[in-house]
Structure 1
Amino acid sequence: MSDSLDHRSHAYRPDLADIRLKGQVTADRFIEGAPGEVAIPVADIRPRPDPECSIDTQALLGEALTVFETSNGWAWVQLAEDGYVGYVREDAIREGVSQATHIVSVPRSFVYPGPDLRFPQLRTLSMGSRVTIVGAAETRGTPYALLEDGSAIIATHLCPVAEPAAEDAVSVAARFIDTPYLWGGRTGFGIDCSGLVQLALAMTGKSAPRDSDQQAAHLGTVIEPVSDGLQRGDLVFWKGHVGFLEDPDTLLHASGGTMYVTREPLQAAIERIARLYGPPTLYRRP
C-alpha cells in the first residue's frame, strides 16, 4: 500500500482514514464519513486544528462536505466541491445533506431580515454561496428571494444551482478587480490566484482543482504559446501562481505583488515575476 497520496485531496492520517481509501493507505481505523454542509458565510479550512496556522482554502455557505471526525471544537472534513481535506471549526458546519436550490452569482450580496433593502443587513454572502429559497416577494419594484428563516436576498443576485451563472469565466474573474488578495481565499471578500480561477470556472459550470499546482497538472489541455497561439481564457502558470489571459497580451490574476485582483500586460508580468520565481512553467486551455 502507498501512503504517498496527496493529503490535500485524500482523507487519511495514521489513526483514521476514509473507508474509500482502504487498501490504498495504512491507518488504524477506516470510517465512512457523515454528510454535512457549511453553516456560516465563510469557513476557513486549515491543515491542522489550530487557529494560529494559515488557511489552506475556504468553504462557502451551503457547500456540501463529508465529516470524518469532530474533536475539541474542530471537524476533520473533505469538501465536495473540490475534494479538499482539512480542519474547520465545528460550529461552522451542520449535519445533513445540503438542500440548496440557488447560488449567489454576484461577487457579494446582502441578506436582509425581510424583503426590503432598507432593513439592516444580517450578513454578507460571497459569490458561490448556496442558499435554499422557499418563496418570493417584491418591495417597491425590487424582487427578493425568501430563505427558510424568512430572511431575504436580492433575487437577481441568484441563479439555480443546476444552471451555469455565466458563459465566460474571464468575465466572472474581471468582476473581482480590486478584491484584496488573501492567501487561501476563494471569496468576494479576499481571494488568491488559484481561488480566482476555481471560482470563475465554477460559475460557468466547470470544476477545477483548488491549488495552482493541481490546476497545472490536471486542468484542461497543455498548449504551446507559439504553435497554438494564446487566446482569452487561457491559463498561464508559474511556480506557485496562475492567472487568466483576458486577451493574448493581458493577464488577469489575484496578485501577491499588488495584493489585489488586477490586470496587467502579460509581458510586464512575465518580466516582473521572473525576478523572483522564474519564467512561466506552463500554459493550459481549460
Structure 2
Amino acid sequence: MNVIGDMKAGEIAARAKFSLRGPEEEFDPRTTAHRGDLADIALAGKLFAPHYAETMPMRCAAPKAMLRKQGGKNYEAVSELLHGEDFHLLDVVGDWAWGYCDHDGYVGYLPVHALQHQRKTPQPTHLISARAALIFIAPDIKSGVIKRLPMGARLACGEASECGQFLQTGKGYVHIRHIQEIGAKRVFDGANNTVSFAEQLVGAPYLWGGRSGDGLDGAGLIQMILGLTGEKAPRDADQQLKTIGSEISDDEDLRRGDFIFFPDNVGIMADDEHIIHANTHWMQVVIEPLAKVIARYGEDVKQPVLARKRSG
C-alpha cells in the first residue's frame, strides 16, 4: 500500500486551493506531519512538500506499539500508541506506517500490523485504569486469559456478565475493577486522583518513549495519569511545562499533586516532600524525597528545578 499514490486527487485539490506565499511557518517537527517527500494535506499552504496526502483513520489493535523516528526497530522510540487509540495514517513503506497519534499529534512510524482501519474496529467505550488488565475467555477469574492490556489502553465494552463482575469486550471479558468509562473520573476515597494513578505505577520499569503501565518515561507518566483523570496533556516534558498548571510562588509550600519540572524530567508530588517520577537513576517509577532528586544534579546544574506548577 502506498498512500501517496492513493491520494493524488487530494493532492491536486490541495494545490488548487492553496498556494504558499512568503516564508514557511515555523512548526514543532514532533507534531507536524511533514517530511521531505510528503506532508499532511492540512499543511498545504503552510509548509511546502512535493506531495500532500489525506489521512486514513486507523486504530491500534495491538496491546501497544512503539512510535519511532524512522521505520525500523533499531530507530529511536519517541512515543507509544496504546490499544484502542487512534492514528492518522499518511503513508506505508514496507512494514511501517507513517502518520500521527490522534490524542497528542505526535508524528512517527508504527508497525503497520499493529493498526486496523477504524471502520473495522468498534469505538472504544472504556479504558484500563488499573496498572494492567487481563482479558479472560469467560466471565470467570479461573478461565483462560486471552491477552493482557496495560494501563491507558482503550477497549469497547458491552453488556455486563450475569455475575455483574465482568464486561464483555470483543472475544473476551474484562473485570469491572480494572476499567473505567472514557471521560469518567475514578474516585480513590477522596484522594487526589492523579497522584493515586501514579502510585499504582511505582515499580514500573523506565522505558524511553513508553507511556503505558508496562513501561514509561517521565513525561509519559504525567501524560497518562492526567489522561486518566480527563485532562489532555502533550507528550514531552518541555511541552508540558508550557501548558500544564500555573506557577507556584517560591514562598508557597508544595502539596500533593504539584508538578516539578527538571532540565530532563518531570514528576508529581506525593506529599509536600516526596515526588513520584519515572527516572533513569533508578530505571523505574519511584517515590523518593524531592531533596535527594535535586541533590543528584550536582553543583554544575545551576537550576535543577525549572518550575513548580499546580493544576486547577
> Which category of TM-score, normalised to the shorter sequence, fits these structures?
over 0.9
Mapped partners of 2:67, 2:269: distance in 1? 29
Residue 122 of structure 1 aligns to a residue whose secondary structure is strand
- Find the counterpart in structure 2 of residue 45 from structure 1: 67
Mapped partners of 2:294, 2:219: distance in 1? 17
Residues 164-184 of structure 1 deviation map (CA, whole Å, 9 limit, x = unaligned) = 235620111011111111111
- Find the counterpart in structure 1 of residue 11 from structure 2: none
Quick one: structure 1 residues 204 and 274, their matched pair in 2 at CA, closer, same or farther if it must change by over 3 Å? farther
2:138–2:144 Cα contact (<8 Å) kept: no
Residues 30-75 of structure 1 deviation map (CA, whole Å, 9 limit, x = unaligned) = 2220111100001110010011112111111000121111120110
1:238–1:277 Cα contact (<8 Å) kept: no
1:3–1:26 Cα contact (<8 Å) kept: no
Matched AA of 2:182 = V
- Find the counterpart in structure 2 of residue 72 from structure 1: 94
Mapped partners of 1:173, 1:25: distance in 2? 39
- Find the counterpart in structure 2 of residue 23 from structure 1: 45
Provide the TM-score with structure 1 as the length reference: 0.93
Mapped partners of 1:276, 1:67: distance in 2? 44
Mapped partners of 1:115, 1:250: distance in 2? 40
Mapped partners of 2:24, 2:186: distance in 1? 40
Show structure 1 runs of 5+ residues with no match.
none
Show structure 2 runs of 5+ residues with no match.
1-22
Deviates more, 1:93-102 or 1:233-242: 93-102
Paired residues for 1:246-257 under 5 Å: 246-257=270-281
Alignment match of 1:234 (pick from 238, 258, 272):
258
Paired residues for 1:261-272 under 5 Å: 261-272=285-296
Higher strand share: 1
- Find the counterpart in structure 2 of residue 199 from structure 1: 224
Mapped partners of 1:216, 1:274: distance in 2? 22
Residue 29 of structure 2 aligns to a residue whose secondary structure is coil
- Find the counterpart in structure 2 of residue 245 from structure 1: 269
Alignment of 1:216 onto 2:247: no
- 1:204 Cα deviation (Å)? 0.7
Alignment of 1:283 onto 2:308: yes
- Find the counterpart in structure 1 of residue 202 from structure 2: 177
Mapped partners of 1:110, 1:144: distance in 2? 11
CA RMSD of aligned residues (A): 1.7
- Find the counterpart in structure 2 of residue 131 from structure 1: 155
Alignment of 1:168 onto 2:156: no
Q: In the comparison of the two structures, how many residue pairs are matched?
A: 282
- 1:229 Cα deviation (Å)? 3.5
Mapped partners of 1:257, 1:83: distance in 2? 29
- 1:250 Cα deviation (Å)? 1.1
- Find the counterpart in structure 2 of residue 145 from structure 1: 167
Quick one: structure 1 residues 275 and 57, their matched pair in 2 at CA, closer, same or farther if it must change by over 3 Å? farther
Mapped partners of 1:168, 1:2: distance in 2? 43
Provide the TM-score with structure 2 as the length reference: 0.85
Question: Which is higher, the Rg of structure 1 or of structure 2?
Answer: 2
Mapped partners of 1:173, 1:142: distance in 2? 28
